[in-house]
Amino acid sequence: MITHHVPATNCPACGKVLNAATNATYEAEEPAPGDYTVCVGCETPLVFGPGCSLAVCDTGSLTAAEREMVEAAVATLREAKRRLGREVAR
Ligand SMILES: [Zn+2]
């Protein structure tokens, strides 16, 4: 997987500084406004805005397919953290 470095932005839910993202679907593509992501610290679904700004994702407004994709990303992150045997540093 390719890690894209993005301008440092605080997670709007927990305040963790986020400065990188991995595209789970099209790994070569950098994050774009409207793309969903998940905070590695607090696992809150987020959405990219202009300039890689971040907002908490209103999951109630997602289609069933989008919600399923976001839930899968959260599950994948949780599994990765479990496998590491430790929580990613907050
Ligand atoms: Zn967070």
Question: Tens digits of per-residue pLDDT, 36-58?
Answer: 999 999 999 999 999 889 999 99
How many Å lie between the centroid of ligand 1 and the Cα of residue 46? 9
% pLDDT > 90, the chain: 68
Tell me if 70 is assigned to some domain: yes
Q: What is the pLDDT of residue 40?
A: 92
How many Å lie between the centroid of ligand 1 and the Cα of residue 66? 20
Confidence (pTM): 0.84
Phi-psi region of 43 (alpha: psi -120 to 50; beta: other; left: phi over 0): left
Tell me if 89 is assigned to some domain: no
Mean pLDDT of the chain: 90
How many Å lie between the centroid of ligand 1 and the Cα of residue 41? 5
Amino acid at the residue 26? Y
% pLDDT > 70, the chain: 94
21: β partners: 4
- Expressed as residue numbers, the domain containing 62 is 3-84
Residue with tokens 């997670």: 11
Tell me if 90 is assigned to some domain: no
How many Å lie between the centroid of ligand 1 and the Cα of residue 81? 14
Instruction: Indicate the number of domains in the chain.
Output: 1
Least confidently predicted of 3-7, 20-24, 42-46, 85-89: 85-89
